Chain A
Amino acid sequence: MIDEQAPAGLRLEVAGRGMAGPPVAGAPRRGWNRYLLVVPAVAVLAAVLVVPIGITVWQAFATGGGLGFGNFAAAWSRAGAAVANSLLWLLIALGVVVVGFVIALLSQRVRRVWRPLLLVLVIPVGMSTMVVGVMFRLIFDPAPELGAVSALAAALHHVFGGSADSSWLPPPWLGPGLIWLVLISAFTVSWLGFAVSLFRTGLDGISPDVIRVAKVEGIGWLARLRTIILPTLRPVTAIVVLTLVLSAARLFDLVLVVVPQPVSGRMDVVATRWWQLTSAPGQAGPAAALAVLLYAFVAVVALVGMPGLRHRWVVPERPAEVRAPRPVRRWRRWALSALGVLIIVVWAFPELTTLATAFRDPVDAGLSGWWRPVAPSLESFVEAARAGLWGALLDTALLAVLATGLVLVLAVPAAYVLSWGGLPRWVARGLTVLLVVLAVTPVQMYAAPLGQVFSAVGQSGAQLPLAVVHAAAGLPFAVLLLRWKFTSVPANLVAGATPGEGGARAELDRVWRQARPAVVAVAVLEFVQVWNDFAIGFLVSGTGTNPLTLLLWGQARQFATSAGPVAASAAVSSLVPVVVLLANWRTVVRGLTGGALR
């Protein structure tokens, strides 16, 4: 800065204080009224989650003559098999995590195939489980005229079996045993893209230099994995494992839409069993006990995983763009690319099948598979529209927008106070733990009491109350994610952004730029989740609200003869969430993987 009033020849310079040493975040003077910012969030959480959870816990322990474990014993005797199946599903979820990690590792070697591979893997993440279930019902239809897999099996039998026996039928895909194959495929397709994408982002965040140094020092492949890669990926792994374990524990719609009645008893999971118990007379106590067991389990998993999420580490903001050429043998690169293409084809197959079926006339769709050419037709869409597709689309959109708006309005101020509100450390820590526990609450913990209140006040079919429930269900996770991101914004930026200081505006912009991915991630995830929800709407609000997933479930009851309209509804209902998720995928991943990754 030059003082122009100074005499000629003399230049006065005022130097600013150099930014040496760690900046000290000032504690700006703010009144207690900043705590008012959390009041709405706390009120909603208390009314929609905490109080109903309390009621459910009380119901679980209340027996005829007082408190006890009678209901738990009853729950165990009525739902033991379902619990065993759910545990099996947890193992399956962990299997998907491992497969996702391996694919992410391999994907680093195939740069050209990576983009289309990521696209194809991520698309099903944006779809509802109901839609994925419908897609797999389509390709595994037991009639060889309709199901592609059945037709393929029949063709293979024809070629390799030798006999021209026309009465040969494909194995019972929907019978006991093989139904697992259908369900596991559907679950894997739903979630693998999520795992691969997050792991890949984590892997890209590891500096190539570290790996190179390790290589030079002669550290073997396995040892590098154990000592460098896995520890660095801990936060990502924690998120992926947590998400998949939770979704396996909550598995509901997939089982409902895929499993035919005769095997449903053997395929029951905790959520479906709970639902049956709640609609049976006099089983409220055991149902509540089952919900509490489920909740206890997921809460423990979440709390164990939490330290992993908090793990911090230092990596460069932007890993080196220049990569040393990897000495990969040509045949191996070809093999990997071929594997990538294979995955792309297999992954796109259910979606292409669904699309192709949707553009067939309902009668054609009910009588022959997509590989038999017929004139394309929009009649299936017309029929789906007659069944209420557009109304359901509108209702779903309204619900998703309302819930997303509510979550943002409630979560951002709450996360702000939690991060920078000057709360005592132990309070903030305690609140975080509480939020983690609330974030993993299964709908079974609050659906029954809320449903009764809703119906008592005649609001079961109304959209706004359901939107509040959705918002409350998504709120804890949203606050956690935002807080995580907010606290990783450098403290001097925050101090600068505090109103009253000069230039707050610009500083606020910088804070916003840092925190934006998390806000976008919260909004996108909430929107997609509410759009695709079946369980919360169905279990809390009954069939009164009119979401797309419910429409699909109803249509899928007469699957074969409504294959065309079902496929059309599935395609239409997936369009919006898939586009929203894909358009924001990079931001979502950045938001999810926290400040430490790029």
Chain B
Amino acid sequence: MSPAKRTNQPINRRTALRAAGLLPLAAAASTLSVGCSTVDNALANAFSFNTVRVGVSWSGDELAAFQQVLAGFHADGYSVQALPLGDEIRTALSARANSRPDVVMLPAPGLIQDNVQYLDPLPADLWDSGNLDLGWRDSVSVNGVPYGLPFKLANKSAVWYRADLIDRPPASWSEWLALNESLIRKGIAPLAVAGADGWPLTDFLSNVLLTVSPSAYRRLTTARPDWSDPALFQALRALGAMWAAPGAISGGADRALEMQYPDALVEVFGFHRAAMVVSPDYAEPVIRRFHREPARIGVFPFPGTHGDVVSGGDIAVLRKPAGDQASAFVRWLAGAAAPLPWINGNGGFLAANPQSDNDNPSYTPDARQLLATLRRSDLLYIDLFDGIGSSYGSPLEQALEDFLRTVGEGGPRAIDQAVRTVLNTMTATANGPGG
């Protein structure tokens, strides 16, 4: 446990403004719901089934895996239904949202602070039972009260690579650059970059920033972000240098910007057009599924992170007012057995409850290695997209997409200007009306 984990943000202007903007609506909605409580009951019986609705961001295989998890839950008198919200999950709790889940799997602990007025605390004894990964307790608590239950963790400091092309994984940033150069000389693109989804780009930058300065990383994610931090400048320059090298990115920036996260995995292991892809642990099932000979699958920790890990997590929270059924469901979710169908079936799941993974034979050696690094990691570094607050995440994604295009097309000479553009854009976001 460390005191420096993401602590409670002081209420800043952004939060205050947002709260002010939502207040009348929240008031209107609550008046309506009070006024309609009788009608509500009648309607609920007539139209809505007795269901606990769980908002999740997962889709595809991951959603199917979560359905398997839910199939293991049995309760009298009600059922649990997954509500796939996709990117909407970030706004699922606000008064304006219209899909009102009872439980939400928030993709970032920072969202707890942002939405605390819509949340009920977890059952008091849940965190005291001693089964949970206590490293997360502070980051899911507000004023010492835990609001969130980490369910699935993610190790985002992983580079999946073709072991048949690369003998010795790089251990430092400079070794990595040298490796890229030698691959380019052999006519192989070192990297596949999933630029069509923004988050792989922010994850990439998160890792580079972590190698440059862990303390700057914490500053950026614990207080109001200061975009003039020299460490950011340095990280973006390093990132630009890697991306701008001619031939470094498979298909060039244009192609990278059409490539979604699974496309980049297939680009490496299915189409054999690239050698490496920076992707979280949960890429593993996709890679194993779509990999073709002669590619061999390997994974190494992001070079230069020295055991630190950029991490993510899906955290269950209870919408206010939490019913007994929803609370009971979250309590069940905290148990060691709940995620087993996902771990044993689909894979690509690092359990937040350490007891879920004790010697579970379903974990591949790669997954076990990533999990071990994650558990060993002293401090919590939430990926930048989720760590810097929801109003900065999307602008940063867009800025990095433009950055990728600029350095991909302009080459090394365009880096300095591109870095300044990113930082200026983010500063403007911070000062702008939306900030």
**Residues in A neighbouring B53, C-beta threshold 8 A:** 461, 544
Give, as a whole number of angstroms, the nearest-CB distance from A119 to chain B. Answer: 34
Residue of B nearest to A383 (CB): B64
- Cβ–Cβ contact A455 & B29, under 8 A: yes
Q: Is B100 an interface residue (CB 8 A)?
A: yes
Interface size on B, residues (CB 8 A): 70
Q: Are B266 and A560 in contact (CB under 8 A)?
A: yes
| Complex Cα–Cα for A383 and B97 (A) | 30
Instruction: Find A265's partner among B258, B262, B398 (CB 8 Å cutoff).
Output: B398
Question: Does chain A have a CB within 8 A of B196?
Answer: yes
Residue B308 at the chain A interface, CB threshold 8 Å:
no
Known A261-B196, A458-B48, A558-B59; further 9 A-B contacts with Cβ < 8 A: A143-B263, A169-B255, A173-B258, A280-B434, A281-B21, A460-B100, A462-B48, A542-B99, A554-B84
B28 at the interface (CB under 8 A from A): yes
A-contact bits for B190-218, CB 8 A (1 contact / 0 none): 00000111100000000000000000000
* Residue numbers in B under 8 Å from A261 (CB-CB): 196-198, 397, 401
CB pair A363–B290 under 8 Å, yes or no, is yes
- Binary CB contact string for chain A from 277 to 301 against chain B (1 if under 8 A, 0 otherwise): 0111110100000000000000000
Residues from chain A with Cβ under 8 Å of B98 in the complex: 451-452, 454-455, 460, 540-542, 544
Say whether B261 faces chain A, with CB atoms less than 8 Å apart: yes
Assess whether A456 is in contact with B48, with CB atoms less than 8 Å apart: no
CB distance from B186 to the nearest CB of A (A): 13
What chain B residues lie within 8 Å of A454 (beta carbons)?
98
Question: Are A561 and B43 in contact, with the CB atoms below 8 A?
Answer: no
Q: List 19 A-B contacts (CB under 8 A).
A: A279-B97, A281-B17, A281-B21, A281-B391, A282-B18, A367-B266, A454-B98, A455-B29, A457-B32, A457-B33, A458-B43, A459-B43, A461-B48, A462-B43, A464-B46, A543-B84, A554-B60, A554-B86, A561-B289
When distances are taken between beta carbons in the complex, the residues of chain B under 8 Å from A465 are: 47
B356, CB-defined interface residue at 8 Å: no
The answer to whether A457 touches B40 (Cβ under 8 A) is yes
Contact A557 B63 (CB under 8 A): no
On whether the beta carbons of B85 and A543 are closer than 8 Å, the reply is: yes
- Near B by CB (< 8 A), chain A positions 408-424 give none
What residues on B are CB-neighbors of A169 within 8 Å? 251-252, 255
Q: Does B78 contact A (CB under 8 A)?
A: no
Partner of A452, one of B18, B28, B187: B28
Q: Are B99 and A366 in contact (CB under 8 A)?
A: no
Asked whether B60 lies within 8 Å of A452 as measured between CB atoms, the reply is no
B245 surroundings in chain A (CB, below 8 A): none
C-alpha gap A456/B97 in the complex (Å) = 10
Say yes or no: is A142 at the interface (Cβ < 8 Å to chain B).
yes
Most buried by A among B20, B30, B85, B263: B263
Whether A543 and B262, one on each chain, are in contact in the complex, defined by CB atoms closer than 8 angstroms, is no
Complex Cα spacing A64 to B258, Å: 42
Encoded as 1 (CB less than 8 Å from any A CB) or 0, chain B from 258 to 270 comes to 1111110111001
Q: How many residue pairs bridge A and B at CB < 8 Å?
A: 185
Are B94's CB and A366's CB within 8 A? no
- Chain A residues with Cβ below 8 Å from B46 are 464
Q: Give the nearest-CB partner of B101 in chain A.
A: A544
| A367 to B36 Cα, complex, angstroms | 53
Q: Determine whether B286 belongs to the interface, using a CB cutoff of 8 Å to chain A.
A: yes
Instruction: Given A262-B196, A544-B100, A561-B60, answer yes or no on A458-B40 (Cβ-Cβ < 8 Å).
Output: yes
Does residue B340 face the partner (Cβ distance < 8 Å to A)?
no
Contacts of B259 in A (CB 8 A): 142
8 Å CB interface, A351-367 against B: 363, 366-367
Alpha-carbon distance between A541 and B187 when the two chains are bound, in angstroms:
51
B25 at the binding interface (Cβ < 8 Å): yes
Taking CB atoms, residues of chain A closer than 8 Å to B43 are 457-459, 462
CB distance from A268 to the nearest CB of B (A): 12
Answer yes or no: A129 CB below 8 A from chain B CBs: no
Q: B17, B67, B255: which contacts A172 (Cβ < 8 A)?
A: B255
Give bound CA distance, A465 to B47, whole Å: 8
Residue in A281, A383, A555 whose beta carbon sits within 8 Å of that of B22 in the complex: A281
Measured CA separation A308–B252 after assembly (Å): 53
Closest to A466 in B: B47
Q: Tell me the nearest residue of chain B to A145, going by C-beta.
A: B271
A366 touches B266 (CB 8 A): yes
A456–B18 CB distance below 8 A: no
A457 B36 Cβ-Cβ under 8 A: yes
> Which residues from chain A contact B289 at a C-beta distance below 8 Å?
363, 561
Complex CA distance for A457 and B32, rounded to whole angstroms: 8
Contacts of A383 in B (CB 8 A): 64
The verdict on B166 contacting chain A, using a C-beta distance below 8 Å, is no
